[in-house]
Amino acid sequence: MDKKEIVSLLIENKIANDNEIQGFTTSEVEQCEQVLGSKLPNQYREFLLAIGHDAGLLFQGTDILFRNVDDLLELRKEAEDLLAENEETYILPTDAFVFSMHQGYEFSFFVISEGNDPPVYQYVEGDGPPVLVWDSFSAFLRKSINSCAQAIKDGIIPL
């Protein structure tokens, strides 16, 4: 999914309107890559450029949209702290990129070297080591958008 498609899906599904959607600038994405010393997968770059800062009702309660690059890059440390706190023997791969933390007990990541639309792994406190949950970042994003849209239709998330 490219930036335009992501934004269109949010607007069509009444998840956000134009003034609630704010992506990272190209220079913010490049700053992130410079700190990492690696280029981010294309699909994640499109996500950041489309909605990296704000996406209306999407991802409420989850740290996945950020004010700045430093907040985004802090997630890996938080994930490592969570693993240590739970005495997990699992160690994140060197090129793992933690892009989401939910309520301090669950995080999601991809491995940069696994392609331009990499699989997404998830760790949930108390469930053992991380597991593969989505075959690609785009599948994760589509499911997240569809779930949010359904929750709005069902009245679970009020407009």
Q: What is the pLDDT of residues 103-119, one digit of tens each?
A: 999 999 999 999 999 99
Strand-by-strand arrangement of the 120-124 sheet:
62-63, 96-102, 106-111, 120-124, 131-134
Residue 61: predicted pLDDT: 87
Give the model confidence (pLDDT) of 9-21 as tens digits.
999 999 999 999 9
User: Does residue 139 lie within any of the structural domains?
Assistant: yes
Secondary structure element (H or E) that encloses residue 51, with its range: helix 42-51
Q: Is the pLDDT of residue 129 over 80?
A: yes
Residue 68: predicted pLDDT: 82
- Provide the domain count of the chain: 1
Give the tokens for residue 80: 């490592």
Rounded CA gap, 45 and 78, in Å? Answer: 22
Give the model confidence (pLDDT) of 61-112 as tens digits.
899 998 888 888 899 999 999 999 999 999 999 999 999 999 999 999 999 9
Domain residue limits at 65: 3-153
User: Does residue 104 lie within any of the structural domains?
Assistant: yes
Q: What is the CATH number of the domain that holds 23?
A: 3.40.1580.10
User: Does residue 158 lie within any of the structural domains?
Assistant: no
Question: What's 25's DSSP letter?
Answer: P
User: Does residue 75 lie within any of the structural domains?
Assistant: yes
Give the model confidence (pLDDT) of 135-157 as tens digits.
999 999 999 999 999 999 998 88
Strands (DSSP E) contained in the chain are: 21-22, 54-55, 62-63, 96-102, 106-111, 120-124, 131-134
Describe the crossing of helices 3-12 and 137-153 by its angle, rounded to 10 degrees: 10
Give the model confidence (pLDDT) of 39-53 as tens digits.
999 999 999 999 999
User: Does residue 149 lie within any of the structural domains?
Assistant: yes
Residue 73: predicted pLDDT: 85
Question: What's 93's DSSP letter?
Answer: -
User: Does residue 36 lie within any of the structural domains?
Assistant: yes
Query: pLDDT above 90 covers what percent of the chain?
Result: 88
Residue 67: predicted pLDDT: 83
Predicted TM-score (pTM) of this structure: 0.94
Residue 159: predicted pLDDT: 65
Count the helix, strand and coil residues of the chain and give each as a percent rounded to the nearest 5: 45, 20, 40
User: Does residue 46 lie within any of the structural domains?
Assistant: yes
| Torsion sign, CA atoms 139, 141, 146, 148 | positive
User: Does residue 159 lie within any of the structural domains?
Assistant: no
